Structure 1
Amino acid sequence: MVDILVISLFKNMNEREMILFGVFAVIILLFLVLDLGIFHRTAHRVTTKSALYQSIFWVLISTLFGFFIYKYDGADHAVEYFSAYLTEYALSVDNIFVILLILKYFKVKEEYYHKTLFWGIFGAIVFRGVFIFVGAIIIHHFHVVLYIFGVLLIYSGIRIYFEDGDQTIEPEKNPILKLSRRYLPFTDGDRGAAFMVRENGKLMFTPLFLVIILIETTDLLFAVDSIPAAFAITQNEFLVYTSNIFAVMGLRAMFFLLAGIIDKFYLLQKGLSIILFFIGAKMLLEIFEISVGVYTSFSVIIATLTLSIVFSVIVPRKPADEE
């Protein structure tokens, strides 16, 4: 299965995109190794200052990669990349909030947040890759799937717009978690930062491993919105995957940066719903041979995100008892 996906990816790439993908792979692998192997070898709490530097770093790296796409693959592809990247990055904000709820629910210590999120994001790189390339194969053979994506995005946009933003999690209802608890041996109590331990000669999983499972399944649920949105922007799987993964790589740093203030950007959820609705409608308009240009799409996305953030800051949310 993996061989088929890889062959499909490279078959549809031009020579310049293959070189860019090689650069992308080196960047991701290098910083994954440096991150866990050197910078965060021991468990510790990530400071806001460190999170800020990491967030700036990943935005700069992602932007630089977009510049290389512009230089070697053309302006249209660069705009599509940035549109998909911004959409995924913005959608990650909701993901951050849910991850925070999961960590709080399981009472994970803050010094273990980094390691937990590292492996959660590593899993996202793998599973989203499979999701994207399978989607690309399906779209190649059944173009009508794009219109189904359009309907899904419009529905998601309407649903998100009318949500009150007060999300809760119910791990006991997660089917993957139920299966894990039923068929895998787990320890009774906390075992620090370990995911697996050996007790009485038997390999046991820890509660922190359950957190990883829940984060992975939650990310896949978010991918149901974000990946169709990226495919609605561009059907180039190289652009979809690289923009998606760069956004995911910046997710962890953004988590530590926004965890304490995420509720202040209360209008961002409305902005995201408008973007999803717009992208879905853009896709469905193609049925009637009405095309919305990549530059128009990019302008709408960045303007909506900017206004959502600005108005969230200048018009603070009213306290719950005043609403």
Structure 2
Amino acid sequence: METVAPLWLWVTFVAIVLASLFVDFVVLKKQGAHDIGVKEALNWSLIWIALSFLFNGLFWWAIKDTTGSVELANTKSLEFLTGYLIEKSLAVDNIFVFLLIFTYFAVPTQFQKRVLMIGIIGAIVLRTIMILVGGWLLQQFHWILYLFGAFLILTGVKMWWAAGQEPSLDDNPALKLLRRILPVSKDYDGEKFWTIENGQKIATPLFMVICLIALTDVIFAVDSIPAIFAITTDPFIVLTSNVFAILGLRAMYFLLAAVASKFHLLNYGLAVILVFIGTKMCLIDVFKIPVGISLGVVVTVLAITMLLSVRSSSSSTSKP
């Protein structure tokens, strides 16, 4: 798999990720279990977004310095930005499922952030593996692009039809399987995943939650990774845009959890984006849609659905 990124930029990326996770864990440990307010979640979200844009600026400079081509640097940095926005927007649907899981298990807010941190680390490892495997498959078998594209279109259609339905975990097969395999306590034991009950070591509901979070990320990774491959096949851009989108997932969860009801139409927009990206992938050998147009479509669809969501929420609350 070929990439335009120099080796030192790979090293810098890994160092930034490790440093970010270290800072997040240190802050998490010092704060202890506590509720995350909207202001704190917004501040952290802005920090993660700013870090992603700063890295994209460094990426642009590295490409320009290495190749001497401003045009190539512009193209590659635009690919990173488009991929980042796609992964960030698809993560919103992931967050709504997290909210459903936390609500179903009545997870206290002060315990949720530890679960999310562990989920983020697991997601980074999982997606790195899937991206490397996916990149190798695309290099060996070009026709897989069409399978990815068709899968994204079907997923988008399915998401559109399911957008208006009330989600439920009652018939979730993964949850039923976990309950059959593991004895689970009825009550939480702080932030512990295991507890002692009647002299026996059993799982707490928090362990069930972390298992479902991990399974959920596997499912969503299958959707989001093919979407970024429709923008670029450069493994560096695919990996970095994914990871930077994931790094801010914890803060974005607490931010969106507070305003989830205001963006109830967002899933329709995500469905349109998936269908568009899938179509782009299927047409790649016939007509290659420019990255700038892809970015414009993603931003426009997200803006329209968010605006319509806020307007419909405002009109419904204003009615007597």
Give TM class, smaller chain. Answer: 0.7 to 0.9
What displacement does 1:316 show? Answer: 3.4
Instruction: Work out whether 1:95 is the aligned partner of 2:100.
Output: no
**Structure 2 contact 152–275 (Cα < 8 Å) conserved:** yes
Q: Find the aligned partners of 1:67 and 1:202 in 2 and give their Cα distance.
A: 54
Change in CA separation of 1:182 and 1:162 when aligned onto 2, cut-off 3 Å: closer
Q: Find the aligned partners of 2:93 and 2:34 in 1 and give their Cα distance.
A: 25
Q: Find the aligned partners of 1:180 and 1:121 in 2 and give their Cα distance.
A: 21
What displacement does 1:165 show? Answer: 3.3
Which structure 1 segments of 5+ residues have no match? 1-10
**Structure 1 contact 89–247 (Cα < 8 Å) conserved:** yes
1:242 is matched by which residue type in structure 2? T
**Structure 2 contact 163–268 (Cα < 8 Å) conserved:** no
1:143-182 alignment, distance < 5 Å: 143-170=142-169, 173-175=172-174, 177-182=175-180
* Corresponding position of 2:298: 301
Which structure 2 segments of 5+ residues have no match? 64-72
Deviation per CA, 1:61-96: give whole Å up to 9, x if none.
011111122222211111111111101111111111
Instruction: Work out whether 1:313 is the aligned partner of 2:310.
Output: yes
**Structure 1 contact 98–167 (Cα < 8 Å) conserved:** no
Instruction: Work out whether 1:227 is the aligned partner of 2:216.
Output: no
1:194-233 alignment, distance < 5 Å: 194-197=192-195, 203-233=201-231
2:260 is matched by which residue type in structure 1? I
Q: Find the aligned partners of 2:3 and 2:202 in 1 and give their Cα distance.
A: 44
Identical residues among aligned pairs (%): 40
* Corresponding position of 2:66: none
**Count of aligned positions:** 308
1:215 is matched by which residue type in structure 2? I
Q: Find the aligned partners of 1:164 and 1:199 in 2 and give their Cα distance.
A: 41
Give the TM-score taking structure 2 as reference length: 0.88
* Corresponding position of 1:263: 261
* Corresponding position of 1:65: 55
Instruction: Work out whether 1:141 is the aligned partner of 2:140.
Output: yes
Deviation per CA, 1:193-228: give whole Å up to 9, x if none.
011346688654322111000011111111221111
Question: RMSD of the alignment, in Å?
Answer: 2.3
1:126 is matched by which residue type in structure 2? V
After TM superposition, where is structure 1 displaced by more than 6 Å over at least 4 residues in a row? 199-202
**Structure 1 contact 266–317 (Cα < 8 Å) conserved:** no
SS class of match (1:193): coil
Match of 1:29 among 18, 41, 49: 18
What displacement does 1:179 show? Answer: 4.5
SS class of match (1:192): coil
Change in CA separation of 1:298 and 1:183 when aligned onto 2, cut-off 3 Å: same
Match of 2:246 among 248, 252, 256: 248
